[in-house]
Structure 1
Amino acid sequence: MILIVDSGSTKSDWIAVDSNGKQLLEKQRTKGLNPEILSEEKLKKLIKKNEHLKANRKTVTHVFFYGAGCGTDRGKDIVRNALVEVFPNAMINVDEDTMAAVYGAINHDTEAAVVCILGTGSNCSYYDGKKLHQRVQSLGYILMDDAAGNYYGKELIREYYFNHMPVNIKLAFESKYNLEADYIKYNIYKQPNPNAYLANFAEFMFLNKDSEYIVELIKKGIRIFAKNMILQYKEELKTVPVHFAGSIAFFAQDEIKAVAKEMGFTTGNFVRRPIEGLVTYHIKNL
């Protein structure tokens, strides 16, 4: 059994296939397995909490894991150690989530492209057809993650508290969420995965895209992300497209295309979940 995993900070998708690409189990889901936020012990517990993964753990021969927080050797080692213990008979390969986005979004194995992730977190890299190049090292959700779900969650809460929201949007926002200050602070400062908590608020934007205020809020984040991340690759952008992966990108396609036109880059594919492309890639390259 071969396990292919696409893990963000909020959730992880697991697909089990045989060497011919035949799916052996229904797609499994666990909570996000980000080593920058969770300990090795917590990672192991979350994986074993899934009964199907636990029941089949000794029959797994390969694990290809792509995850948020795995862009450093430290992050890779934490995840690898957890996977080795859970799947003792498997060859383990751990890589950053950007490579999942690359394999899931590019049109063929050697296509050069700038590839962005806009999910709970955000990232942007250049893939030259063989290797990944990153010009900005991520410092996590507090300092970076522009245009990600947690960025928009933070912006919505700030807009609400600073009284910048139109009245109808403010009323809709407070009817959907518990916005008591103590409750918000408890979830951000006392609970695990505060970035995932903030990202939960981003859904509100896509339920209210008939509001010009919301559309401009989305575009504002995309412009900041493009300035800080995409435009790091000005030379490459002259000849390659920009592909996007992640739920925020998928639901903000219109706004991303509008900002791309403003800022002079060409959008390519939009992939909500890269894991299907990962399966195709790995079966072909076993």
Structure 2
Amino acid sequence: MILLADSGSTKTDWLLLDEDGQQITRFASVGFNPFYQTQAVIAEGLRNEVVPKVSGQVREVHFYGAGCADEKTSRPACDALTDGFPDATIAVHSDLLAAARGLCGRQPGIACILGTGSNNCLYDGEKIVNNIGSLGFWLGDEGSGGYLGKRLVTHYLHGELPTEIYEAFRTSYPDVARLSILDRAYKQPFPNRYFATFAPFLSQYLDRPFIRNLVQDAFHVFLDIYVVRHPGSGALPLHFTGSVAHYFESVLKEAMVKKGLQLGSIQKSPMLGLARYHIAG
């Protein structure tokens, strides 16, 4: 059997395939990111949320994850997976390669992630040939759920939201205040996850001009910094995956049209495309 995983900072999508490429089971677990988590923490999560849901002998594990940029950064995830599935061949790849393989297949294109975080790459149909690296939550991740939530909370704390939206936000999040936000931002783990939890509020008020402009501006920044700088960006299909791309699809398409970019596909998860990629061999 082949076990595939597409892991972001918030959650992991798992798919177990039999030898004929047929789906056996698909489930979700907590996200694993070796940039923030140790091998021990990842191993515990695998023992509690993944291994019990996988029956039978797994021959291969292909784990695509945020924070798995190279062999060194991937090591905690690789070692934890080896402990969890000792009889399997383990391969750890970046979540960006999952996006490229899952969205583009074996065709050239530009693949982007807009979820809790954001990323991008130019893919030639076989490998990633260019990546304009994000600088992470505090210095980058433009267009992501964490970025959108951070902007929304900042506007709220500065008293810059329109009255209706301000009151709705205060009702929805009565515990949000300057000191509590500073604590979550600078003292608690996973600030990107925390700020991304505010993205659903934006989707509820997407018909309000202030909110729509906030989201559209974030996508314009992402496209300007990370997409149009790729060689041939105007001629290649531009694909997106991730919850933010999925739930804000209409605004994202508007931003792409304004930049003269060619839409490929927008998928919440690249998993089904990944399955086709690995079944084809």
Q: TM-score, length-normalised on structure 1?
A: 0.93
Correspondence for 1:15: 15
Correspondence for 1:41: 40
- Out of 244, 249, 252, the position equivalent to 2:248 is 252
Segments ≥4 residues shifted beyond 6 Å: none
Report if aligned partners of 1:117, 1:246 keep a CA contact under 8 Å in 2. Answer: yes
Report if aligned partners of 1:57, 1:87 keep a CA contact under 8 Å in 2. Answer: no
Map 1:253-272 onto structure 2 (within 5 A): 253-272=249-268
For the aligned residue pairs, the C-alpha RMSD in angstroms reads 1.6
Rounded Cα–Cα distance in structure 2 between residues aligned with 1:118 and 1:99:
14
Correspondence for 2:194: 197
Q: Deviations over 1:82-106 (max 9, x none)?
A: 1111110010011111111122222
Q: Deviations over 1:154-193 (max 9, x none)?
A: 0000010111100100111111123133332332233222
Correspondence for 1:224: 221
Report if aligned partners of 1:6, 1:275 keep a CA contact under 8 Å in 2. Answer: yes
Rounded Cα–Cα distance in structure 2 between residues aligned with 1:158 and 1:78:
34
Aligned-partner SS, 1:71: coil
Rounded Cα–Cα distance in structure 1 between residues aligned with 2:179 and 2:218:
27
Rounded Cα–Cα distance in structure 1 between residues aligned with 2:81 and 2:94:
15
Correspondence for 1:170: 166
Report if aligned partners of 1:58, 1:89 keep a CA contact under 8 Å in 2. Answer: no
- When the two structures are aligned, how many residues end up with a matched partner? 280
Q: Deviations over 1:115-138 (max 9, x none)?
A: 110000001100011210234233
Map 1:127-206 onto structure 2 (within 5 A): 127-177=123-173, 178-206=175-203
Percent sequence identity is 34
Q: TM-score, length-normalised on structure 2?
A: 0.95
Correspondence for 2:70: 72
CA separation of 1:15 and 1:135: change in aligned 2, threshold 3 A:
closer
Report if aligned partners of 2:157, 2:177 keep a CA contact under 8 Å in 1. Answer: no
Shift of 1:58: 7.4
Shift of 1:270: 0.3
- Out of 73, 88, 95, the position equivalent to 1:90 is 88
- Out of 208, 212, 229, the position equivalent to 1:211 is 208
Correspondence for 2:29: 30
Gaps of 5+ in 1: none
Report if aligned partners of 1:66, 1:94 keep a CA contact under 8 Å in 2. Answer: yes
